[in-house]
Structure 1
Amino acid sequence: MSKEYKGRCHCGSVQFNVVADLNNCFKCNCSFCVRRASTLVKVEDSKFTLESDENNLGKYGSRDFSDHFFCKNCGIQCYTRFKNEKGTSVILNVGCLEGVDSYSLNPVTFDGAKKL
């Protein structure tokens, strides 16, 4: 079931609101995701609202289908904007969601190492 969450980086410079169903969380095994070890959840672009200044964000590891955003101040990778033939979505670092214990979730594995 979807629920509204507030999200932020460690220092609070990046803040956002999102409606997400954490029963659909996953871990990706691509080289980027393995190194950051985040539990992730994908939402429609319309369910994500950035509440802070975009100037607080940096990009790293972006590809033609994705842009990975992190806080320029504390370095936390907060979310990824993902685009494909179905449209644009946002993949969130669940660890950035307030009141959520990402270790209590049961993420499935997305085989990004082979699909990306």
Structure 2
Amino acid sequence: MSIASKLRNFVLSCHCGKVRLTCDMESDLSQSGRCNCSSCFKTRMWVHPVSNINSLKLTTPESNLAVYHYGAKCTGHYFCKSCGTQMYMRGEYPGSPAFAYVSINCIEGLTQQEFSAIPFAFANGLEDNSNESPKFTNHL
């Protein structure tokens, strides 16, 4: 099976509907994750990487979005100006390829049961070690 056949185009939207986007991700969403860094912890982000960064397309006006940068300012956190829903993160660290992650909770058309079946891994962003799980995870 080719990589392309494992991808699915997802539609995502914020709470009020003023921000909508589409992107390609693995159809089973098996690369989703939760992180304990200060930003993800406070916003309760649950993310999945976009398979092809060029597939991330806004279908509503970009003027409906605001962006927040902090720390090294390598990552933009994009959210709806009206309802505050964080939709995605996009960035590039020196020496690494550009990346984008979307908020799993913004995917349209999934039932609560389907959301509960999505596997996820933890990342210890608080200690800049995304390859290991943090010591405490129940609160994430």
Query: Fold match, TM over 0.5?
Result: yes
The code of the aligned residue for 1:67 comes to G
The code of the aligned residue for 2:88 comes to Y
CA-based RMSD of the aligned residues comes to 1.6
Within the candidate set 57, 63, 79, 2:88 is matched to 79
Return 5+ residue gaps in structure 1 as ranges. Answer: none
Render the CA deviation track for 1:59-86: whole Å, top value 9, x for unaligned.
2244421000100011100001121223
Which runs of structure 2 are paired with 1:47-66 in the superposition (5 Å)? 47-62=55-70, 63-66=72-75
Which runs of structure 2 are paired with 1:19-58 in the superposition (5 Å)? 19-21=24-26, 22-43=29-50, 44-58=52-66
| Aligned-residue identity in percent | 26
* Separation in structure 1 between the aligned mates of residue 45 and residue 90 of structure 2, nearest angstrom: 15
* Separation in structure 2 between the aligned mates of residue 37 and residue 91 of structure 1, nearest angstrom: 14
Counterpart residue number, 1:97: 107
* Separation in structure 2 between the aligned mates of residue 2 and residue 27 of structure 1, nearest angstrom: 21
Identify the structure with the greater strand proportion: 1
* Separation in structure 2 between the aligned mates of residue 106 and residue 54 of structure 1, nearest angstrom: 31
TM-score of the pair, normalised by structure 2: 0.76
DSSP-derived class of the 2:30 partner: helix
Render the CA deviation track for 1:30-51: whole Å, top value 9, x for unaligned.
0110111121001231121111
Give the length in aligned residue pairs: 116
DSSP-derived class of the 2:39 partner: helix
Bigger radius of gyration among the two: 2
Deviation at 1:55, TM superposition (A): 0.6
Counterpart residue number, 1:110: 123
Whether the aligned pair in 2 keeps the contact of 1:39 and 1:102 (CA below 8 Å) is no
Within the candidate set 7, 14, 36, 1:9 is matched to 14
Greater length-normalized contact order (CA 8 Å, ≥ 6 residues apart)? 1
> Aligned pair in 2 of structure 1 residues 103, 60: CA closer, same or farther (>3 Å)?
farther
* Separation in structure 2 between the aligned mates of residue 36 and residue 103 of structure 1, nearest angstrom: 19
